[in-house]
Amino acid sequence: MRVGKPLLPEFAAWRYGARIRSRRWRAAGLTAAGLAATGVAMVGGTVLLAAGVAAVGLGIVPAAFSSLAWLDEKYTHDRVLTRVRDEDGHLRSLKLRHFARLEIAMAENQAGWKFRVAHETGMLELEGSEATRVAGHILAHINRSGGTPAQLGDAARRITALGDAERYIRHTSELRETRRYSRSIFWNDDVGVLGLTQTERLALEIAVHEDAERRMIRTELTALESAWRDAEEIAAISDTLMIVHRPE
């Protein structure tokens, strides 16, 4: 039995395990439902064709499937996942078809990271709390198929190996650039969105959440420290006012 702060792999398994497993089961359920619907459609098409080609027409069934495929692709790629404001205050929609242009980049001060997202008319660079909010939302969708317990443990170990969440986030930017120059980003089937593998993207999602909490705690501690400093100054002033100066 070990007493003290849990290691990140253990903590991640406890904190994110149920969420990741539920995504995996949901994805499996949707896949099964889709296959069942396809099977029914195929059987239905066969029955209709057997009943009379003249009544249905040779082009109707293929056209119907083509229309359904087009509608599915249109809905999937044009679906708005989230909205962000640009530098001019305009609200921009981030759609699934923009995901191919997502990027994690290093901040100019080399101490943080930026999240580059595409929209209809250009690119946005998000930093700080807005970057973590949008990145967390988008990564949850990218990782919607979930992962196995082994992948979750591997993802947590990747973060631990680099020291902390922020270092891992910055490391993913370096990974993407390395793979881009070596062109493995194009021929390696395991590499997908953001130039990362599924496990690496899972680790990135965990790291973004951990980094967001670290930022929040740091902000709260800074505010608390400022409040303490103000209280000490007020107390010092009060002590000075209470000193009675006796005439000599």
- At a CB cut-off of 8 Å and minimum separation 6, what does 105 contact? 113, 114, 115, 116, 125, 173
Q: What is the pLDDT of residue 200?
A: 92
Q: How far is CA 93 from CA 75, 86, 97, in A?
A: 15, 10, 11
Quote the pTM value: 0.64
Domain ranges of the chain: 8-24+56-222
Q: What is the mean pLDDT of each run of 10 residues along the chain (248 residues)?
A: 49 58 55 48 44 45 50 63 81 81 79 83 85 87 82 88 90 87 73 86 89 78 70 64 55
* Residue 224, token pair as written in the block: 């608390």
Report d(CA 200, CA 42) in Å as an integer.
38
Instruction: Supply φ then ψ for residue 162, to 5 degrees.
Output: -95, -5
In contact, 199 and 149? CB cutoff 8 Å: no
Query: Could you tell me which residues are beta bridge partners of residue 122?
Result: 119
Q: What is the pLDDT of residue 239?
A: 57
Please count the other Cβ atoms lying within 10 Å of the Cβ belonging to residue 79. 12
> What does the DSSP assignment read for the chain?
---SSPPHHHHHHHHHHHHHHHHHHHHHHHHHHHHHHHHHHHHHHHHHHHH-HHHH-TTHHHHHHHHHHHHHHHHHHH-EEEEEE-TTS-EEEEEGGGGGG-EEEE-TTSSSEEEEEEETTEEEEEEHHHHHHHHHHHHHHHTTT---HHHHHHHHHHHHHHSSHHHHHHHHHHHHHHHHHHTHHHH-TT--GGG--HHHHHHHHHHHHHHHHHHHHHHHHHHHHHHHHHHHHHHHHHHHHH------
Report d(CA 42, CA 105) in Å as an integer.
47
Q: What is the pLDDT of residue 46?
A: 47
